């Protein structure tokens, strides 16, 4: 009888300790699962920034594109090392009376958000390729763009900094030395500077 009571006591103690151990294991697995899910969420909404630029016989453009699968939050833009300056502002500073058909640019990109697949046109210049004044202006702007360095700092939705996006716009310099090829390109056939 005493042995049966002792067995019942130890059996209930073993069951209680086993329940506590199983609960602790479940708690550990739950915490690890939440950590893994959080890490997965952070990595699965990462933006991938890109700067696209190009030229044709009558236009120049520079775009910022989000090729990732999460929102891109732009924190800072640098052109030739100067913070919060867009390429368009540099061109306006150099050319007070710009001669072209159309000149569009974004000034302030700080705290701008781009959803996945979207782009922002930083600079767009359209020239009249039959106007001599426009052609001269185009070559001056082309050489100015060719010497530009462009940097973009951005984060993801969790405010985690991403690699700084840096581009030299030297593609425009290549096109200066190859004017024959550029002049043959129509407005629809834009050279993309990926």
pLDDT tens figures, 42-64: 778 889 999 888 888 788 888 99
Q: How many residues does the chain have?
A: 194
pLDDT at 14: 86
The residue extents of the domains of the chain are 1-44, 49-192
Helices (H), the chain: 2-44, 87-94, 132-146, 171-177, 179-184
Helix 87-94 with 132-146: angle, nearest 10 deg: 130
The H or E element containing residue 52 is: strand 49-55
Q: Can you give the pLDDT at residue 150?
A: 83
| CA nearest to 127, candidates 148, 103, 106, 146 | 103
**Overall pTM surpassing 0.85 (yes/no):** no
The pLDDT tens digits for 68-100 are 988 999 998 888 877 767 777 777 777 767 777
Q: Which residues of the chain have pLDDT under 50?
A: 176-194
């Amino acid at each position: 009888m005493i042995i049966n009571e002792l067995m019942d006591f130890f059996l209930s103690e073993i069951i209680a300790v086993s329940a506590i151990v199983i609960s602790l294991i479940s708690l550990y697995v739950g915490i690890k699962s939440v950590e893994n899910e959080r890490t997965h969420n952070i990595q699965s909404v990462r933006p991938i920034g890109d700067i696209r630029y190009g030229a044709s016989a009558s236009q120049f453009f520079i775009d910022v594109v989000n090729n990732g699968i999460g929102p891109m939050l732009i924190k800072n833009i640098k052109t030739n090392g100067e913070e919060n300056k867009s390429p368009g502002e540099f061109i306006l500073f150099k050319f007070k009376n710009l001669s072209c058909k159309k000149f569009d640019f974004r000034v302030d990109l700080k705290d701008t958000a781009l959803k996945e697949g979207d782009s922002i046109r930083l600079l767009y210049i359209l020239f009249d390729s039959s106007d001599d004044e426009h052609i001269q202006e185009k070559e001056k702007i082309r050489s100015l763009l060719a010497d530009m360095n462009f940097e973009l700092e951005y984060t993801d939705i969790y405010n985690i900094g991403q690699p700084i996006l840096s581009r030299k716009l030297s593609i425009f310099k290549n096109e200066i030395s190859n004017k024959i090829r550029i002049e043959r390109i129509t407005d629809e056939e834009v050279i993309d500077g990926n």
